[in-house]
């Protein structure tokens, strides 16, 4: 009796050779980690931030590993410059929309300037950076992956986080609509929603022992996140292994939102 040999499927590649990636807010923390993950997988990565020093150092460190990286100064809230930045370059197949800020305070204390500062960077800039990236992809008739760094606070509320929650919940809705608009063109859009990650942005808050204890009570795995916890998520959403994934959120929160 002859046994038929089953066809074994091959795992889709996690490599990104030949693809171009752009990471905003790449001077440190989550942005630098995302750039490093994409470069390690073979992508040619452009690190973007408002000031040159940090991204140049990060790009140099990535190049020292043998990967491909460059630094480019760009204020993502300067929308005319965003448009020209993308129009002057070949299309990016991967965008990590990471630039963001936070101004924690009671909602009764929020000023219009506070509102504009948070929403203009976390939402408005993310929208128009993605738009400029997509326009170049469509012109090149190429496919791509948009990855927006959201937050668990885009899925739940938090005290003194009205502005941050407003921006991150809006990012989730924006992402789903992007996915629907772009699916026919082979461009995917997803978010990553982390819990509190140890970065320069969160360090002042986590230095408060009472605040840190309240955070750890919510994170069921019992520790604050590290940037390394997000690198695999970024790579997954950028590569062919997630080819059927669009319009969703990859929540990396240690169980915070499970309750």
Question: Where in the sequence numbering do the catalytic residues fall?
Answer: 164
Residue 141 has, within 13 A of its CA and on its CB side, a CA count of 0
Q: What is the DSSP letter of 254?
A: T
CA distances from 236 to 28, 70, 82, 227, 228 (A): 21, 22, 26, 15, 13
Beta bridge partners of 225: 197
**CA atoms of 133 and 93, how far apart (whole Å):** 8
* Helices H / strands E in the chain, number of each: 9, 7
CA distances from 194 to 41, 84, 234, 250 (A): 22, 31, 11, 8
Work out the burial of residue 168: count CB atoms within 10 Å of its CB; fewer than 13 is exposed, 13-18 middle, 19 or more buried: buried
């Amino acid at each position: 009796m002859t046994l038929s040999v089953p066809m074994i499927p091959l795992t889709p590649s996690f490599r990104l050779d030949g693809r171009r990636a752009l990471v905003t807010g790449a001077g440190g923390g989550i942005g630098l980690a995302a750039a490093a993950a994409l470069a390690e997988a073979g992508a040619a990565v452009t690190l973007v931030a408002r000031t040159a020093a940090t991204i140049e150092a990060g790009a140099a460190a990535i190049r020292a590993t043998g990967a491909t990286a460059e630094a480019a100064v760009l204020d993502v809230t300067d929308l005319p410059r965003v448009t020209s930045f993308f129009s002057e370059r070949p299309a990016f197949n991967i965008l990590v929309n990471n630039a963001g800020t936070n101004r924690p305070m009671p909602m009764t204390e929020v000023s219009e300037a506070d509102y504009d500062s948070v929403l203009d960077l976390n939402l408005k800039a993310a929208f128009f950076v993605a738009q400029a990236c997509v326009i170049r992809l469509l012109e090149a008739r190429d496919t791509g992956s948009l990855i927006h760094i959201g937050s668990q606070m885009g899925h739940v509320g938090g005290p003194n986080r009205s502005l941050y929650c407003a921006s991150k919940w809006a990012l989730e809705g924006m992402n789903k609509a992007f996915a629907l608009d772009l699916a026919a063109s082979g461009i995917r859009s997803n978010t990553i929603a982390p819990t509190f990650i140890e970065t320069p942005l969160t360090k002042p808050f986590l230095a408060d022992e009472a605040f840190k204890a309240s955070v750890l009570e919510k994170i069921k795995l019992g520790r604050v996140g590290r940037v390394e916890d997000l690198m695999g998520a970024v790579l997954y959403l950028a590569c062919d292994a997630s080819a059927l994934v669009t319009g969703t959120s990859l929540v990396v929160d240690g169980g915070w939102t499970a309750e």
